[in-house]
Each structure stands twice: as structure tokens, then as C-alpha cells.
Amino acid sequence: MCTKHKNILSTAMRCGTYRPMSTPTDRRSRKRLATRQNISNVATRLFFERGFDNVTVDEIAAAADVGRMTVFNHFARKEDMFFDRDEEGRDILREALRNRPRRIVPIEALRLLAHRLVAEQSPYVEFSKRSQSFVETIERSETLKARARAIRDELAQVVATAMAESVGREPTDPDARLAAATLLATWAVALLQAHLTFRETRDTAKANAAFLAIVDKGSVGLKAAMARTPYA
């Protein structure tokens, strides 16, 4: 990926053309989810074709065959139609920490998460021709870049809080905040390098290896920095 480090992590939170991770059992919820997914898919197609800033909400509504208010019932901002799986990504990070075995420290739990996401071919760490379209769309829009930076900061807070809670410390624990910020920076660099590797080689396996190599190296350094804390 050739977008800047500060924008890269939230690109992994954006996969609007994928199906949701879980499907509600009641008909009304399924219908609502299907409408939301349709709006996101239509918006994504238009953003790819014309650029994010050149597409209006009214045009998205018309193409999705819904009313303008229906769009806003599902998405508070136009940017949310692009980063539409942001909340699911946050949940994955939280659960990796909440459900970690006692013998696995938080930093190691997140390193293992990275490996699991790659093994499962998760859309959050996809390095492909399709993922390049996500990157290029962000690169062309200052609005998306700004939202990406905001998501990065929000993710750091999510991780810091979840890390602290997982070891019985307060959410404002400075060690957790430092660990989370460093970890997010590591993943951002890893994603950047992986997307650059794919762009140069068109080889997903090499991109996956580049991503995990940096995550692993960063985890070693972070464990050293957090020595004598419950995070390492």
C-alpha cells in the first residue's frame, strides 16, 4: 500500500464488498442488514469508479434504490460507507484480548491475532488487486485520509482500554496507552510494507510474509519495552 503510515491501518478496517461476520436470526434484522450492505456496496462501487469526493449521498441513494434518509439511518457520515466494517474490526481486537488464555500476555495475543487473520485470509489483512483499489481511493481523498487518521487514533484507544482491562488495570493506565500506540504504529508499517510488496510483485504470499515479519519484529521490541509490566 502506498498511502502514508498514518492512514494505512484503517484501510484494513474497510471491506464493504464482504459479507458481515454474523447473520441475525430474525427477519427484520436480516432485512436491515441487507439494506445496509447494499448501500455500502453501491457506494463503494461509485467511490472506486469516480472518487469519493465526486459522489454525493443523493447519488448513492438513487443507485441503491433507497431514500436519502434511509442512507443516513444506516450511516451517520458518507465516510462510514467506505469504512463500513470499522466496528467489526474493533470487536476483533477486543475479543483477542478478552478471550486470551492466561498464559498468553496481551502483546503476544495480538501478535497471534495477526497470524490468525492472515491464515484465515481475513479481509482486514487482504493484499490483492481489490485491496489496491481501497488504497487508491483513500489516496485521492483528503476526507478519507482525515477519517483514516481518526480511526487509527480511535483504534489505539480501543486497544489500550482492552489491554488494561485484560490485566485488571485502569483504562487510563499509561503503560497500556504506550503499548497500544506502539502496536498500532507497528501494524501500520506492516500493512504499508505488505501492500507495497504486493504492488511490486503481485504476489499475495510475499505480501503476507512481509506483513507478519514486521509484526513479529515489532512485537519483540514492544515486549522488551514493556518488560516488568503485565502486558509482556
Sketch the domain layout of the chain as residue ranges: 19-81, 85-225
DSSP reduced 3-state for 41: helix
The phi and psi torsions of 99 (rounded to 5 degrees) equal -100, 10
Model confidence at 24, in pLDDT bands (50, 70, 90)? Answer: low
Average pLDDT value for residue range 48-75:
96
Determine the pLDDT at residue 9: 55
Q: Which tens digits make up the pLDDT trace of 133-186? A: 888 999 899 999 999 989 989 999 999 999 999 999 999 999 999 999 999 999
What does the pLDDT average to over 219-226?
Answer: 97
Instruction: pLDDT band for 19, please (50, 70, 90 cuts).
Output: very low
Mean pLDDT of the chain: 89
pTM of the full structure: 0.82
Whether residue 212 is predicted with pLDDT greater than 80 in this model: the reply is: yes
pLDDT at 210 over 80: yes
Instruction: Please give the grid coordinates belonging to residue 153.
Output: 487514533
Percent of the chain with pLDDT over 90: 78
Q: What dotted CATH number matches 19-81?
A: 1.10.10.60
pLDDT surpassing 80 at residue 20: no
Q: Using alpha carbons only, what angle is made at residue 29 by residues 13 and 151, rounded to the nearest 5 degrees?
A: 20
Cell numbers at residue 83, please?
Answer: 469504512
**Confidence at residue 193, expressed as pLDDT on a 0 to 100 scale:** 95
Looking at residue 156, its pLDDT comes to 94
Question: Residue 123 contacts by C-beta under 8 Å, 6 or more apart in sequence?
Answer: 15, 18, 85
Q: For the chain, how big is the Rg over CA atoms in Å?
A: 18
Q: What is the pLDDT of residue 22?
A: 54
200 pLDDT more than 70: yes
**CATH class label, 85-225:** mainly alpha
Give the span between the Cα atoms of 2 and 101, in whole angstroms: 36
The mean pLDDT value for 25-49 works out to 92
Fold match between domain 19-81 and domain 85-225: no
